[in-house]
Amino acid sequence: MTHTTAVLSRDPAAPFSVEPIELDAPRDDEILVRIVAAGICHTDLVNRVIGKADRPILLGHEGAGVVDAVGGAVTSVAPGDHVVLTFRRCGACPNCAAGRPAYCRNSTALNHFGRRADKSVRITAGGAPVRDGFFGQSSFAGYALATEDNTVVVDPAVDPAVAAAFGCGFQTGAGAVLNALRPSAGSWLAIYGAGAVGSAALLAARTVPGVRTVVVETTAARRDLARELGADAVVDPGAEDTVATIRDLTGGGAAHAVDTTGLPAVLGDAFTALDIGGTVVAVGLGAGIPPIDVRDMVLQGKTVRGCLEGDAEPATFIPRLLDLHSRGLLPVDRLVARFPHTDIAAALAAQRTGTVIKPVLTW
């Protein structure tokens, strides 16, 4: 049994609480990780409001830390390894076999809240079960239980507070560009939303020589940061017609676009602002039907596609991104702000106001 502190949600309408918890010892296929840092992602906040039943819940799916202990069946990870925790996948379904683990057919069961297969409890607070297992880690705690399929060993020299968000947010934005769109020199890429995912997409685009970028963002501070990070142009959608502006800027339309907002109207604008043969990738989880002209799609050969977790194979893609960072080519540290986990309220407030791009909790 391991004792630590965790950030729990007992009521979606109430503040998070910092409480002591107890973790069960790792089973044969489990890995006990001492969490050093955990990024706060929009997905955590969305899943916090799943209802008042079956509380408290333990969120967190961008954990980074050091392996403390492993179960007897674990072979690819050892105590002392520095790791980043990411999403789970079964490894056996057709999509996993095809190298597309983000689209694992068993993803829902593996990444949503849930107990072990035998229904045994992993974590308790005050003797009562905690609803955990989020993305196979629930890393808003000083320790987390993970498995080999969502644990990526990284260089010990990497700052865990910077590495944490590669488990989801940075991986998603960078992968949308490098894995899904693969822009070439001379092409224009439009990025809608300059939060953590959009900013990671911008930085990833800057690693491809000759790609030009335009960022559409409502918040002035984030537009300013996008300029500092290398955006060739920024657009305020509250002051400009984004479609007309991008078409004029690019000489007819962007070859590529990434929508991080999840807003149907924004996705529709991104599609309309594409050049002939252009592609927009949607990574933001939203709801509704975007206004897309089918004639425009057919006659101009445009494409709209979704992209989950950056179409990444984390075991290879996360080290690739961290290598780019270590060489100064992917300065995501500019996006990170550290907060002690006891100050989660301050972290969330800074994220809401836009003064912080990626808040990271530390233990």
pLDDT at residue 53, rounded to an integer: 64
pLDDT at residue 275, rounded to an integer: 98
Q: Does domain 2-167+331-362 have CATH number 3.90.180.10?
A: yes
Among 110-114, 146-150, 187-191, 198-202, where is mean pLDDT lowest?
Answer: 110-114
What tens digit of pLDDT does each residue of 209-223 get? 999 999 999 999 999
At the top level of CATH, the class of 173-307 is alpha beta
Same fold across 2-167+331-362 and 173-307: no
pLDDT at residue 208, rounded to an integer: 97
For residue 217, report the phi and psi dihedrals to the nearest 5 degrees: -150, 140
What tens digit of pLDDT does each residue of 269-309 get? 999 999 999 999 999 988 899 999 999 999 999 999 999 99
Q: Say if strands 2-9 and 57-58 run parallel, antiparallel, or are unpaired.
A: antiparallel
Domain boundaries, the chain: 2-167+331-362, 173-307
What tens digit of pLDDT does each residue of 80-131 get? 999 999 999 999 999 999 999 999 999 999 999 988 989 899 999 999 999 9
